[in-house]
Amino acid sequence: MLLGIDVGGTHTDAVIIDRGEVTATAKVETDQSNLIASIDAVLEKILSSKPNQSISKINLSTTLTTNSIVEKKLEEVGVLAVSGPGLAPSSFSNDLGQHFHLIEGSIDHRGSRQQALNEAAAQDAVTDCKHNKLKVFAVVSKFSPRNPEIEQTLAELVSDQSDFTTIGHRISGRLNFPRRLATAYYNAAVWRRYNLFADAITQSIKKHKLDAPLNILKADGGTIDFDNSRKNPIQTILSGPAASVMGIIALSSITEDAIILDIGGTTTDIAIFADGAPLLEKEGVSFGGRATSVRAIDTHSIGIGGDSAITISPEGKLMVGPQRQGPPMALDGHKPTLIDACNVKGLCRLGNCDNSFAGLQELAEKNHLTVVELADNAIDLALTTIRDEADKLLETINQRPVYTVEEVVHGEKINPQKLYVMGGPAAILAPLLSKIFDLETEVPDNYAVANAIGAALTKMTMEVELFADTGKKTMLIPNLDIRRKVSSSYSLNDARKDGISELVKYLRENGHPEIADQNISVVEAEAFNMVDDYAVGSKTIRVSCQIRPGLEEEIKIK
């Protein structure tokens, strides 16, 4: 049996799933100032109805790290950055705390050291950090995925006084220095708070006599195992929307290009699927004022939901949202909302419909409209705005740059065939959305706990990048900290094999003995001939392997 827990903004949900069936659910209010108490409470509630010894896996989606960053509950970090020539430091040094140290040294795009690390300056920076009693560090150099030496030296220099050091190339093997820098900083800044939370979770699980592996949800629609998350807490940010998206996959058999709408009280989240799989942000999610390298499902949030207020400006412009004025008047609110408009139109009968009618009528009369006209216009405006935003997102995705003639000329575009709608007002609005989007529309059952179901069923994901240079006879897999000599005849095929086998080996040694080669997908594999001084016919090889987001045992709940 699988146990999924989703700590959301308002509610904490839990579900138990037994061979494809939801056998128990529980919901408690989230106490954002005490997440452990909320998790305790929901465990208490759900386990009171179910024997717990048969739970085989626990998946938890939590807002701890997200909140830490949003609320700036961040520990001061000693940031040691080595950028070398390029962009001015002012373009990447903002929002990284009070202890940012830029140190001389440089590595180029091929991983050649062009300027040695200024170790004396590095030592001065470390002394300064010591003076300021800093205990966590982030060490990041430009092009460290091509040559990690400078970062390794820096990590060594801080090791005496560091409780925890985030090393840039372990965060991501992809090239993007400012993102790696910001991600490493956040990871170090939330590390202690996350680990205290993790200790409490361990206690809580023990208290409830659960003895199953624990995994934490990530923003990419996958999980990370609990021990690993203690070193990579940044990976747990923004897992909530990802849990919902995975939930809808569990509740509907999505196989086509599709648009997913999660309509809440205040906002609607839009996600796009290609061939049944959610699309990820191109490089990583932006968060807390900085772009990061944390992989995330590409969701787009707009300020229209069931509780969005209907207003008319003095100039006569009708608006729905973005501010939430809920609850609706039908439930004794003070301003007419989208749900009140639905009540007026007879699309639903929530609470006291007379209140909805009265509220809209007052606004309609002031603006020389009939109450039905106003309700029609408001609903139409809300839904066309959602459609326009979805179209915009789709256009952005279809216009993403590609780098081969083949892809530009013959590349396939995403062409949604179906609309999936979930959230409170989903059933009410689905028929209208179907018309406005001109798409077949499905509202899955059980969507009220879709997020917890998504959490329960989500599988582990991981990505590694391999980079080889046969001129220099080196092969690196930065985030596994692998760097070794290869022969000058090392091929793209060798690189594929190494990428797969190293990822499998790492996962087997880190709590996933079930992983085999066939679980790994090679998502990018390129080799280019280099014609230069090193050797004619040497190659630069880039391979990217991953375990794609997916559901445990392909369980479908109907």
Partner 1 sequence: MKTTRNLGVIFFPAYDWAISPTHPEREERLLYTQDQLREEGVFDLPNITEYKPEIATYADMERTHFCFPGPQEVSTESHLVAAGGAIKAARLVMEKQVDRAFALVRPPGHHAMKVVHGNRGFCNINNEAVLIEFIREHYGNKKIAIVDTDCHHGDGTQDIYWHDPNILFISLHQDGRTLYPGTGFSDELGGPTARGRTINIPLPPNTYDEGFLYVIDNLVQPILDDFKPDLIINSAGQDNHYGDPITNMNSSAQGYARLNEKLNPDIAVLEGGYSIQGALPYVNLGIVLAMAGLDYSQVREPDYNPESLRQSLEITNYIDKLCGLTLKNYFQPPPLKVKPNQYDVRAKTVYYDTDGINDQQIEQIMVCTNCSGVRHLTSKTQRNSSCMGIEIPIDACKRCRDEGYRLLEEGRRNFKGTTLKFVNRLEQEYLTINEFELTPMGRYYF
Contacts with partner 1 by CB under 8 A lie at 85-88, 90-92, 106, 108-110, 112, 114-115, 142-143, 174-179, 283, 291, 399-406, 408-409, 526, 528-532, 536, 540
Report whether the peptide linkage leading into residue 85 is cis, meaning its omega lies within 30 degrees of zero.
Answer: no
Distances (CA, A) of 70 to 61, 95, 182, 190, 274: 17, 13, 14, 11, 31
Sequence-ordered alpha helix ranges (H) in 96-253: 119-131, 149-158, 168-171, 177-207, 226-231, 239-251
Nearest CA-CA partner of 429 in 304, 245, 327: 304
Q: Could you tell me the smallest distance in angstroms from the CB atom of residue 473 to partner 1? A: 17
Q: Could you tell me the smallest distance in angstroms from the CB atom of residue 463 to partner 1? A: 16
* 300 versus 534: smaller Cβ distance to partner 1: 534
* 106 versus 229: smaller Cβ distance to partner 1: 106
Q: Answer yes or no: are the C-beta atoms of 198 and 170 closer than 8 Å.
A: no
Q: Which amino acid is at 495?
A: A
Q: Could you tell me the smallest distance in angstroms from the CB atom of residue 405 to partner 1? A: 5
Return the sign of the alpha-carbon dihedral for residues 252, 258, 263, 266. positive
Q: Could you tell me the smallest distance in angstroms from the CB atom of residue 406 to partner 1? A: 6
The values of phi and psi at residue 330, to 5°, are -60, -25
> Facing residues of 16 across strands?
3, 24
CB atoms within 10 A of CB 454: 30
Q: Could you tell me the smallest distance in angstroms from the CB atom of residue 277 to partner 1? A: 22
CA distance between the termini of the chain: 17
* 71 versus 403: smaller Cβ distance to partner 1: 403
Q: Could you tell me the smallest distance in angstroms from the CB atom of residue 23 to partner 1? A: 45
Distances (CA, A) of 427 to 432, 435, 448, 557: 10, 14, 12, 19
Sequence-ordered alpha helix ranges (H) in 239-308: 239-251
Q: Could you tell me the smallest distance in angstroms from the CB atom of residue 412 to partner 1? A: 14
Q: 38-51 b/e with 16+ CB inside 10 Å = b?
A: bbbbbbebbbeebe
> Facing residues of 528 across strands?
540
Contacts of 442 (CB under 8 A, 6+ apart): 252, 418, 419, 420, 421, 430
Q: Cα–Cα distance between 270 and 282 in angstroms, integer?
A: 16
The values of phi and psi at residue 260, to 5°, are -115, 130
> Facing residues of 263 across strands?
268
* 212 versus 291: smaller Cβ distance to partner 1: 291
Q: Could you tell me the smallest distance in angstroms from the CB atom of residue 399 to partner 1? A: 5
Return the DSSP state at 553: G
Q: Could you tell me the smallest distance in angstroms from the CB atom of residue 184 to partner 1? A: 14
* 183 versus 215: smaller Cβ distance to partner 1: 183
* 384 versus 415: smaller Cβ distance to partner 1: 415
Give residue 472's Cα distance to chain centre.
36
Classified as helix, coil or strand, 280 is: strand
* 52 versus 183: smaller Cβ distance to partner 1: 183
* 58 versus 237: smaller Cβ distance to partner 1: 237
* 140 versus 190: smaller Cβ distance to partner 1: 140
Q: Could you tell me the smallest distance in angstroms from the CB atom of residue 468 to partner 1? A: 14
- Residue 370: in which H helix or E strand, if any? none
Nearest CA-CA partner of 486 in 527, 427, 452: 527
Q: Which two tokens stand for residue 514?
A: 């079930």
Q: Answer yes or no: are the C-beta atoms of 169 and 148 closer than 8 Å.
A: yes
* 413 versus 556: smaller Cβ distance to partner 1: 413
* 18 versus 283: smaller Cβ distance to partner 1: 283
Q: Could you tell me the smallest distance in angstroms from the CB atom of residue 143 to partner 1? A: 6
* 17 versus 466: smaller Cβ distance to partner 1: 466
Return the DSSP state at 347: S
Q: Could you tell me the smallest distance in angstroms from the CB atom of residue 99 to partner 1? A: 21
- Residue 416: in which H helix or E strand, if any? none
